[in-house]
């Protein structure tokens, strides 16, 4: 059986390769740690981060031990969508990294989908 970290990296590379081949839109990339969740919209053509949001932002930050839960992910998704709307970004491709699409990742995606097209 393979190492879980190796499986994660393989899954992440496979997802990014599919996105790069198919899409010419900007990419919404997600990273989560045990304590925080980060999301950013990246223009791969020029390798520039256009918009970002995380649980470390002053608008979302709490004094709890962990901010990586569904409520915090929803707030991050909404904040990211507002910031993207300010930059006139309407369509993105969702890059879930190597994570499974449930829980925190799904909450962030659903909150962002309300204003952006996937």
- Look at residue 92 in the predicted model and tell me its pLDDT: 93
- Lowest average pLDDT, out of 64-68, 92-96, 101-105, 106-110, goes to 64-68
CB 12: neighbour CB atoms within 10 A?
A: 15
DSSP helix/strand/coil, 111 = helix
Greatest alpha-carbon pair distance for the chain in Å reads 47
The share of the chain scoring above pLDDT 90, in percent, equals 64
Q: CATH for 4-113?
A: 3.30.420.100
- Look at residue 63 in the predicted model and tell me its pLDDT: 61
Above 70 in pLDDT, residue 64? no
19-58 residue pLDDT tens: 887 778 899 999 999 899 999 999 988 989 999 999 999 8
């Amino acid at each position: 059986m393979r190492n879980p970290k190796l499986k994660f990296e393989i899954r992440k590379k496979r997802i990014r390769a599919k996105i790069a081949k198919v899409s010419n839109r900007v990419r919404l990339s997600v990273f989560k740690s045990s304590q925080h969740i980060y999301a950013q919209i990246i223009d791969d053509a020029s390798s520039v981060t256009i918009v970002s949001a995380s649980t470390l932002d002053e608008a979302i930050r709490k004094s709890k031990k962990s901010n990586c839960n569904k409520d915090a992910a929803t707030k991050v998704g909404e904040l990211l969508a507002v910031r993207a709307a300010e930059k006139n970004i309407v369509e993105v491709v969702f890059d879930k990294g190597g994570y499974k699409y449930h829980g925190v990742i799904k909450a962030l995606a659903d909150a962002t989908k309300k204003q952006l097209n996937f």
